Amino acid sequence: MVLLNMLIIIVYGLVISTGPNQSLKPPEKIIKLGLSRLDGEVPVYYSEEYKTRAAYIQNLVVSASCFFKTPEILGVDADLHLAVLDSSDWTRYTKLPYGIAHIIAEPPTIIVAASADNVIVRNILAKEDKVSEITLKLLDELEISYNEAATTFADLISFHELGHILANKYGCDTWPEQRWLSEFVATYLAYAYMKEKQPKLSRLWKAMMDQNACNSEVKHTTLADFETLYLGVGTDNYGWFQAKFYQKVEEIYSESGISFVHELKKLLNENPKTSKDDIFRLKELSSISKGFSGWAEGKKGNIK
């Protein structure tokens, strides 16, 4: 997503422990790759020559996981593994294009690319000539080049993936009934962590997301399209949807903080099924945060 960056495959499980996680076994498909292992609170299996990269991704996930373990945030704890794969191991493991971060459900494992030469980063860099002056100014203020921004932004997908799993564990995920809301909550949690603990990353995330939301050539703009087609809307269009979700996330978080997630869990527990006239849960959501119905209008949920 900034383009293809959040092309995630949503599956669930995750988080950390107080010491090295020696008990949880990784997926059989990962074991068969014969990878090296880096122990720790979140064990990492990595391709040869990528130990430093593995440690970097491990640190990202562990730090975020610790934040969400705090009782007043989510109080959620889980076990997971990471797999950091080069293009050769990736091809042996999956048919997905190299670099599309995703999660294996059982046991929970986040899969990410070991190198920056992947489809996500390449798609971001291919759009450099269309980047606005506003985005470039923001990156300049952060003292980060567009090249670095592309690579770093792609790495931040790990927070979004963690968000999916934590939402499921906490009890506020809606996959597959409302795919859009599942994506929204994952981004909400990713943003919450970065906003509170990683302000520079939060500003980078915003710069790239706002840029992606400016795409005026998208064909699909309704929640109905997103629910029906999902990744089938196309790379750029999918990135546009995720950017629009992010902008709403930012708006709500400034007003409600993490309490929105607490209220969402309560709402979902009280209303496990949606009515035919509120299939996107927009009316329900407006009861805990005003403005959802106006943000996505009409029966098809046309996003402003």
Rounded CA-CA distance 136/115 in Å is: 24
Position 13 scores a pLDDT of 28
Residues 27-46 have a mean pLDDT of 94
CATH of 28-303 given 1.10.390, 1.10.3470, 3.10.20, 2.60.40: 1.10.390
Position 104 scores a pLDDT of 82
Q: Give the residue among 175, 186, 184 at the shortest CA–CA distance from 248.
A: 184
Position 5 scores a pLDDT of 34
pLDDT confidence band for 107 (50 / 70 / 90) = confident
Residues 33-61 have a mean pLDDT of 96
CA atoms within 13 A on the CB side of 265: 13
pLDDT in tens, 113-172: 999 999 999 989 999 999 999 999 999 999 999 999 999 999 999 999 899 889 989 999
The DSSP element (H or E) to which 151 belongs, if any, is helix 146-155
Residue 72 CB-density burial (10 A; 0-12 exposed, 13-18 middle, 19+ buried):
exposed
| Torsion (CA) 169, 173, 175, 178 in degrees, nearest 10 | 180
pLDDT in tens, 170-212: 999 999 999 999 999 999 999 999 999 999 999 999 999 999 9
Position 109 scores a pLDDT of 86
Q: Is the dihedral of CA 202, 205, 208, 210 positive or negative?
A: negative
Domain ranges of the chain: 28-303
**Main-chain dihedrals φ then ψ at residue 206, nearest 5 degrees:** -60, -45
Predicted TM-score (pTM) above 0.85: yes
Residues 7-32 have a mean pLDDT of 53
Residues 21-26 have a mean pLDDT of 63
Query: What percent of the chain is predicted at pLDDT more than 70?
Result: 92
